[in-house]
Amino acid sequence: MKRRSRPLNIVMALILAVALIPGGEITVYASGTAEEIISEIPDETEGETTADYNVVEKSNDISVLKAVIEPKEYTGSGISISPSDIKWMQGKREVYVAPTDITIESYKNNIKPGTATVTVRGSGKLAGTKKIKFKIRKRGFRWWWER
């Protein structure tokens, strides 16, 4: 697997997005630079290919934000997170991220108490992906009238 990462000017990035190798990913920032990430480049690339790309400002890339999810209580089955459960921070300042601009992609270790991970992707006005860890607490003792 070959992996390359280098800055490109925005014009070159848009040209590259049209001729992107299948399975690759590109994020284009409006600031005039881009980051190219291409995995598994075949020795010979032939034929036609298509690519989706989203041009956003770098400040709209969720991978540069800190994300916090409050601990969840173990329920006996998989814990799921909604986009509104995620608090987004830029430094010490909380920033608003519309839940409709976040897509939940996958979970890891969300079945039992411990540390779980959710992977989210920006959509709409946002771009980038973020893996967010959160705690699943053991269910505490409850009296029958509290259930």
Q: Are strands 7-9 and 33-39 parallel, antiparallel or unpaired?
A: antiparallel
- Distance between CA atoms of residues 39 and 21, nearest Å: 9
Question: What is the Cα–Cα distance from 127 to 60, expressed in whole angstroms?
Answer: 6
Residues of the chain with pLDDT > 70: what percent? 59
d(CA 101, CA 12): 27
Q: What is the pLDDT of residue 125?
A: 84
Global pTM value: 0.61
Q: What is the pLDDT of residue 11?
A: 47
* Residue 37: per-residue pLDDT: 41
- Spatial distance between the Cα atoms of 44 and 24, rounded to a whole number of angstroms: 15
Closest CA to 69 of 82, 78, 56, 60: 82
pLDDT 10s digits, 48-97: 656 555 566 666 889 999 999 999 999 889 999 999 999 999 989 999 99
Residue 120 pLDDT > 50, yes or no?
yes
Greatest mean pLDDT among 17-21, 42-46, 127-131 lies in 127-131
